[in-house]
Amino acid sequence: MPLLEVDDLAVRFDTGEGSVHAVNGVSYAVEPGETLGVVGESGSGKSVHVLSMLGLIPKPPGRILRGRAIFDGRDLLKLSERELREVRGGEIGIIFQDPMTSLNPVLSVATQITETLVIHKKLSRPAAKKRAIELLDLVGIPDPHRRVDQYPHEFSGGMRQRVMIAIGIACEPKLLIADEPTTALDVTVQAQVLDLMRDLKRKLGMAMIWITHDMGVVAGIADNIQVMYGGRIMERGPTRAVFQDTRSAYTYGLLRSLPDHDQPPVPDAQGRRPRLHQIPGSPPDLFRPPAGDPFAPRNPYATERCLTEAPPLAQAPGGVPGHLVAAWYDLRSVRENAA
Ligand SMILES: Nc1ncnc2c1ncn2[C@@H]1O[C@H](COP(=O)(O)OP(=O)(O)O)[C@@H](O)[C@H]1O
Ligand SMILES: [Mg+2]
């Protein structure tokens, strides 16, 4: 039984200028203990698709058009605001990109962590405070007895992100959702936070959805990678397969735009490493989403059919089980022929 099963989720924003087709039929499952990396350029629907499941998009203008999100046997999309509040921070932990906006500046760290524990775990205040100190220690904050009584502005960016992580894992969630948790950090601190998350995942055994625009960031932490574009899943599969047996032209473009020292770009048929490049063209107009494959206008391998008919997400021919791609073209053969 998957821990989370998302089925045909579609989300729109109704604005004065028209309707933004932010999420356009997303289906996938997360197994207990799995780490799923969700990757895509800015605007691809990564945040909206998880926020809508958690009841965190503003309605209006947001509107869940259709779909289901079964978490631990219950459809999150059918829960009341009260029930969702219980799930958030309880069974599902959440970490956002910018701790400065998600932490309350006028409350001490102790208050913010203990609040979660009192609400969700029904701990007494003293027990919650004790646990808060343990949590700060667990996420690598030195001198936690003293620091627990400090305020967010007294912490560095990296330490604030660790506080956010402590809050995210406080109730030992079955699922932790991290939306660009390291994006605002410099690379050294980012690496430390990634190490911490790997370590916590091993210790706590929770499942994780890690959202990022940077393939390099999730390469070392995700079991599976899911690439999104134009509010759709373009490719999904075991991390190794997605990196080494890439089937979507969009994923291929993302990999080629990675700097060498993070993760080598996929070599071409002659074993040459392509130079770093930007994907030419611009993202789809979500007010008027294309009828076909949303990446088709930027895809040199697109066929006539790609422009008119959206391909379903299906098992990649000859790929490992669970390696799925949404494409009418076969990236392997077009690249072989191009070589
Ligand atoms: N409150 C909103 N009103 C209108 N459009 C929105 C709103 N929130 C998000 N969007 C749009 O939804 C699309 C998907 O956004 P998002 O999921 O945040 O992208 P990502 O996280 O992949 O960068 C974008 O086009 C964005 O502009
Ligand atoms: Mg986002």
What is the 46 CA–ligand 2 centroid distance (Å)?
6
CA angle 322, 206, 319 (to 5 degrees): 10
CA distances in angstroms from 253 to 229, 246, 249, 277, 278, listed in the order given: 12, 10, 6, 8, 8
- Asked whether the predicted pLDDT for residue 262 surpasses 50, the reply is no
CA of 43 to the centre of ligand 2 (A): 7
**So what's the pLDDT on residue 109?**
96
Ligand that lies nearest to the alpha carbon of residue 96, given by its number in the listed order:
2
Q: CB of 237 within 8 A of CB of 316?
A: yes
Atom 5 of ligand 1, residue of closest alpha carbon: 13
Select the more confidently predicted residue: 270 or 144.
144
Q: What is the mean pLDDT of residues 306-316?
A: 96
Taking the C-alpha atoms of residue 161 and residue 294, their distance in angstroms, rounded to an integer, is 34
Lowest-confidence pick of 18-22, 32-36, 185-189, 215-219: 185-189
| CA distances in angstroms from 258 to 126, 187, 212, 221, listed in the order given | 48, 14, 13, 17
First to last CA, the chain: 43
Is residue 260 over pLDDT 80?
A: no
Among protein residues, the one whose CA lies closest to atom 14 of ligand 1: 45
Q: What is the mean pLDDT of residues 98-124?
A: 90
d(CA 310, CA 135): 46
The rounded percent of the chain whose pLDDT value lies above 90 is: 79
The mean pLDDT value for 258-271 works out to 58
Query: With 70 as the cut, is the pLDDT of residue 123 above it?
Result: yes
- Mutation test of ligand 1: which of 46, 48, 180 has the most ligand atoms closer than 8 Å to its C-beta? 48
| CB-based pocket (< 6 A), ligand 1 | 13, 15, 20, 22, 40, 42-48, 58, 61, 286
| Closest ligand 1 atom to 45 CA | 17
Distance 44 CA to ligand 1 centre (A): 8
Residue 232, pLDDT > 80, answer yes
Percentage of the residues of the chain whose pLDDT score is greater than 70: 94
In the prediction, which pLDDT does 26 show? 97
- pLDDT reading at 275 higher than 60: no
Cβ-based neighbours of 91, under 8 Å, separated by 6 or more: 71, 72, 171, 173, 174, 175
Mean pLDDT within 179-198: 88
What ligand 1 atom has the least distance to the C-alpha of 228? 22
Q: Which atom of ligand 1 is nearest to the CA of 180?
A: 21
pLDDT score for 189: 86
- pLDDT mean over 168-192: 90
Confidence at residue 276, expressed as pLDDT on a 0 to 100 scale = 57
Supply the residue whose CA is at minimum distance from atom 20 of ligand 1: 43
142-171 per-position pLDDT tens digit: 999 999 999 999 999 889 999 999 999 999
Residue appearing with tokens 């305020």: 151
Q: Say what the pTM is.
A: 0.92
> From ligand 2's centre to the CA of 42, what distance in Å?
6
* HEC assignment per residue over the chain: CCCEEEEEEEEEEEECCEEEEEEEEEEEEECCCCEEEEECCCCCCHHHHHHHHCCCCCCCCEEEEEEEEEECCEEHHHCCHHHHHHHECCCEEEECCCHHHHCCCCCCHHHHHHHHHHHHHCCCHHHHHHHHHHHHHHCCCCCHHHHCCCCHHHCCHHHHHHHHHHHHHCCCCCEEEEECCCCCCCHHHHHHHHHHHHHHHHHHCCEEEEEECCHHHHHCCCCEEEEEECCEEEEEEEHHHHHHCCCCHHHHHHHHCCCCCCCCCCCCCCCCCCCCCCCCCCCCCCCCCCCCCCCHHHCCCCCHHHHHCCCCCEECCCCCCCCEECCCCCHHHHHHHHC
CB 117 within 8 A of CB 202: no
Question: Ligand 1: which residue has its CA nearest to atom 8?
Answer: 48
Confidence label for 335 from pLDDT (cuts 50, 70 and 90)? confident
Q: What is the mean pLDDT of the chain?
A: 92
**103-107, 260-264, 313-317: lowest mean pLDDT where?**
260-264
Phi, psi for 41 (deg, rounded to 5): -65, 165
Residue 261 pLDDT level (bands cut at 50, 70, 90): very low
Residue 265 confidence (pLDDT): 52
Per-residue confidence band for 272, with pLDDT thresholds at 50, 70 and 90: low
Least confident of 25-39, 234-248, 249-263, 301-315: 249-263
